[in-house]
Amino acid sequence: MADKRLRIIVAKPGLDGHDRGAKIIARALRDAGFEVIYTGLHQTPEMIAEAAVQEDADAVGLSVLSGAHMTLFPEVLRLLKEKGADDVAIFGGGIIPDEDATRLKQMGVREIFTPGASTEDIVKWVNANVSPRQ
Amino acid sequence: MSMSNKQEWLKGPYQDAKERPVRFSTISDMEIDPLYTPDDVRGGYADKLGNPGEYPYTRGPYGSMYRGRLWTMRQFAGFGLAEDTNARFHFLLKQGQDGLSTAFDMPTLMGYDADHERARGEVGREGVAVSTIDDMMVLFKGIPLDKVTTSMTVNCSASVLLAMYLVMAERNGVPWERVGGTIQNDMLKEFIAQKEWISPPAPSLRIVTDMIEFCAKKVPRWHAVSISGYHIRECGSTAVQELAFTLADGICYVEDAMSRGLNVDEFAPRLSFFWNLHNDFLEEVAKLRAARRIWAKLMKERFGAKSERSMTLKCHAQTAGASLTAQQPVNNVVRVAIQALAGVMGGVQSLHTNSMDETLALPTENAVMVALRTQQIIAEETGVTNTIDPLGGSFAIEALTDKMEAEAMAYIRKIDEMGGMLKAIDTGYPQREIAEAAFAYQRQLERNEKVVVGVNKYSIPEEIPIATLKIDRELEERQIQRVRKIKRERNSTSVKDALKRVAEACRSGENLMPPICDAVRVGASVGEISDIYRAEFGVYTDPGWI
């Protein structure tokens, strides 16, 4: 269906409690007309991959500010692949140095947003790059 | 006197002149008048300001302030393994810093050992990894514990880390009466803002109060709680919300301790506060002055404190991490300097200045030195320490101080009506107020109604590269091996018995600190004691409000 609203999970993997950004993104995506599910804090990669499958998500936005992105992002990618859901678009944000962002994109993360990115940029990116899963 | 009639002036000379087409408001969106005059300042000097060291302490908690003693320069540090942070501590002390401040890694902060599944990728990354007393011994090796005061930023596992610090001091031959420092241990603001928790709010409050009581009796130079607005502000609150929610948290701790039969003057002198220093200079100075006045009145009038030391609000402050930009990061040095100056003008007792590279990674040694030098320049070169509360009496500062007091008190009354902060947290009231403010500010930025230099104005296409500290990923494995070795080699029967006594204290209501100290002595870990909390008090999960 062409008019199917995109379902996006905004997830906070890891142990850090910095949810200001995740909540702002969740709210901006919702205001932009997407269906948004916010997982809350302290999710394991397993919980996030499971939620993506259960909720039939088209995209998952991961927010990490603890520096553990090189462990947590690839683990979410791996688990989604294992569950046959590697077509879910994964994007992310947080304090992520350029060289890590480059490596994460090589692994299959579609986009990384760093401090200073506007909610408008993120909404535009989702509109241009995420399509409903078949 | 007609000369000071503000309304006439506004309708006359001001209206005839040009005004830029912008909204004149603080970063918290508080509207600011074009001019403040004697018309805006009400009340007498003695009632509202008082001299420094005199009720209501608006001008400062101590008589001589920085003429007597400069603020403590206390840079927050922690990364990697205990020996890495120990080296940074020795570096900072050598550079003229006079107090230590410890950053722990996320597993330690959340009550997990390095060898726990949930610690993967997080060991030593955001702070130092401490799982057992052995790590604590290494962390403070060679530090004179009776001379240097230590601050530890840790909350839901604070009881364990304080026990480890005390046992470490004991093993180094320093009696508890001579150990001085602060542990953050402000669980209420965790549920509101920073969001590091193990158990639900009510048992979390009980542990905090156990520590307040224990320290009042056994560790008299220790601040058992640092009531923190810092994280509330970082989470996106306004300055007034930071002020109001923090003081409302303070009210809750005082009420809980008094409900156990403690006399307010037994513990209140050791309550300390921790504020954020954001970009809006006048608003920040007014906030710090209003905080002292409100607290003094609350302690005297509401709680019947008799001791002056109970009425004076003493505080640490840190420049606003969230105000720093990844873009043109050297500009952050300027932001930090202005924020730190606001702290000094506001009369803080202790200060941390952020490093320019903190939006990118943990700070390098070089960046930390610039941050520390910023404080030293304010202290030694600018002359602002020569006179006390130099902005006091400014019409603008006094009017803003009054306005912040009035608006914060309106919030505090509302929380009182809800039945206090524990109840307010359960309904998500402060959490939602902060999320609203954070979202509103983000929208203002995106509509260019508020400016961040280098981000939505004066941006340049190329980022300025600066060096960042790298954390060796292999150290996680080393810490895991270290923790496993300790767990293999200790007396497991003593550990089991000691943990059982902690669990019994959870149930009986006796003070938790003595059995936790015993458990730490025989090698029980942060994760194991936190597991007792999980089993006895339950686990809190994020309601995930957006």
Which pLDDT value is given to residue B466?
A: 52
Question: In angstroms, what is the C-alpha Rg of chain B?
Answer: 24
Tens of pLDDT, residues B478-505: 999 999 999 999 999 999 999 999 999 9
Which pLDDT value is given to residue B478?
A: 96
Q: Are B131 and B180 in contact (CB under 8 A)?
A: no
Q: Which residue of B has its CA nearest to A64?
A: B122
Half-sphere exposure for B494 (CA within 13 Å, toward CB): 14
Q: Å from B78 to nearest chain A CA?
A: 13
Mean pLDDT of B87-108: 93
Which pLDDT value is given to residue B155?
A: 98
- Note the ipTM here: 0.91
Mean pLDDT of B447-469: 81
Instruction: Quote the Cα angle for B174-B175-B176, to 5°.
Output: 120
b or e along B158-180 (b: 16 or more beta carbons within 10 Å of the residue's beta carbon)?
bbbbbbbbbbbbeebebebeebb
Q: Are A58 and A89 in contact (CB under 8 A)?
A: yes
- Residues pairing with B352 in the sheet: B318
Q: Peptide bond before A45: cis, by omega within 30 degrees of 0?
A: no
The answer to whether A14 contacts B106, with C-beta atoms less than 8 Å apart, is yes
Tens of pLDDT, residues B408-432: 999 999 999 999 999 999 999 999 9
Tens of pLDDT, residues B510-520: 999 999 999 99
Mean pLDDT of B519-534: 98
Nearest CA to A65 among B76, B187, B360?
B360
Ranking A29-38, B95-104, B520-529 by mean pLDDT, the lowest is B95-104
Q: Å from A17 to nearest chain B CA?
A: 5
Strands of B72-73's sheet in order across: B72-73, B350-352, B315-319, B272-277, B226-228
Instruction: State the CB neighbour count (10 A cutoff) for residue A3.
Output: 5
Task: Give me the phi and psi of B136, to 5 degrees please.
Answer: -65, -35
Tens of pLDDT, residues B352-367: 999 998 887 788 889 9
Q: How many residues does chain B have?
A: 546
**pLDDT confidence bin for A1, thresholds 50/70/90:** very low
- Which positions in chain B touch A30 (Cβ < 8 Å)? 546
Mean pLDDT of chain A: 93
Q: Are B282 and B394 in contact (CB under 8 A)?
A: no
Q: How many whole angstroms from its chain centre is CA A11?
A: 6
Which pLDDT value is given to residue B464?
A: 53
Cα–Cα distance between A111 and A92 in angstroms, integer?
6
Q: Using the predicted structure, report yes or no on whether residue A124 has a pLDDT greater than 50.
A: yes
Q: Using the predicted structure, report yes or no on whether residue B152 has a pLDDT greater than 50.
A: yes
The answer to whether B122 contacts A14, with C-beta atoms less than 8 Å apart, is yes
- Which positions in chain B touch A95 (Cβ < 8 Å)? 359-361
Mean pLDDT of A107-133: 93
Could you tell me the CA-to-CA distances from B197 to B34, B191, B531 in Å, in that order? 44, 7, 12
Which pLDDT value is given to residue B365?
A: 87
The answer to whether B442 contacts A16, with C-beta atoms less than 8 Å apart, is no
The answer to whether A67 contacts B544, with C-beta atoms less than 8 Å apart, is no
B442: nearest CB among A40, A114, A119: A119
Look up tokens 């940074």; give the residue. Answer: B88
B482: which 2 tokens? 């270290």
Q: Are A3 and B522 in contact (CB under 8 A)?
A: no
pTM for the whole structure:
0.96
Q: How many whole angstroms from its chain centre is CA B260?
A: 26
- Residues pairing with B277 in the sheet: B319
Strands of A111-113's sheet in order across: A35-38, A7-11, A59-64, A89-94, A111-113
Instruction: State the CB neighbour count (10 A cutoff) for residue A86.
Output: 13
Instruction: State the CB neighbour count (10 A cutoff) for residue B445.
Output: 17
Cα–Cα distance between B37 and B39 in angstroms, integer?
5
Alpha helices in B78-132, H assignment, sequence order: 82-94, 106-110
Tens of pLDDT, residues B172-205: 999 999 999 999 999 999 999 999 999 999 999 9
Q: Using the predicted structure, report yes or no on whether residue B1 has a pLDDT greater than 50.
A: no
Amino acid at B544: G
